[in-house]
Amino acid sequence: MDLFASGKARWLGVAPLAAGILVTLTARPPDLLVSEDGKLVAIRLDNGGIALSNRLHDKFTQSVWVRRAGEGEIEDNPPATLDDTSQTADCGGGLCRFTVAGHKAAIVSKPEALAGGCAASDVVIAQLPAHAACRAPLVIDPTDLARDGAISVRFEKDLPIVQTVRASAGNRPWTAPALAGP
């Protein structure tokens, strides 16, 4: 007798389908995204939307991030910039301070702003080498990005959960070898 003819086997597909829907609905998006070159950063806003560090750099990545955040097409619904949000304290002079998921963060683009960005920040995204000079709990600099690719961070119980493109892609024959880290 054919199991599929009776229709009973069709019910075997319900559990995986329900599990997939549940995971999709309960998966929490990242609080912070950093592009592979570190020049584009996105944060999850308190209202669930996203804000970008700038709208001039890497339009393709911007559009992917906006779509994945559930905000439609970037042309129809351009996201806020960090300067437009109440979560940003100050941007200028090579330093942009903001809050993401209750954590103080900074983007540093000039060497003279590094000490100020590292002071009292939980997360520092530096566009220059920073590990030797910065003692923030989480530092992301060009060395990390060259080794690991783009990075996403989710905060859970005050701990950053860092996900990298390198970790997601794994070591495959067609991926470039990882560079040595700090």
CA–CA distance, 168 with 42 (Å, rounded to integer): 19
Spatial CA neighbour of 142 closest among 131, 156, 154: 131
Given this model, what pLDDT does residue 75 score? Answer: 64
**145 pLDDT more than 60:** yes
Strands (E), 56-173: 80-81, 88-92, 95-100, 103-108, 123-126, 138-140, 151-156, 159-164
pTM of the entire structure?
0.75
The length of the chain is 182
Spatial CA neighbour of 153 closest among 176, 177, 124: 124
Given this model, what pLDDT does residue 135 score? Answer: 92
Report yes or no: 89 and 107 within 8 Å, Cβ to Cβ: no
**156 pLDDT more than 70:** yes
pLDDT tens digits, 14-28: 666 666 665 555 556
**Proportion of the chain above pLDDT 90, given as a percent:** 25
**6 pLDDT more than 70:** no
pLDDT tens digits, 49-105: 888 888 777 777 777 767 676 665 666 666 777 777 777 777 888 899 988 888 999
Given this model, what pLDDT does residue 144 score? Answer: 92
CA–CA distance, 125 with 92 (Å, rounded to integer): 15
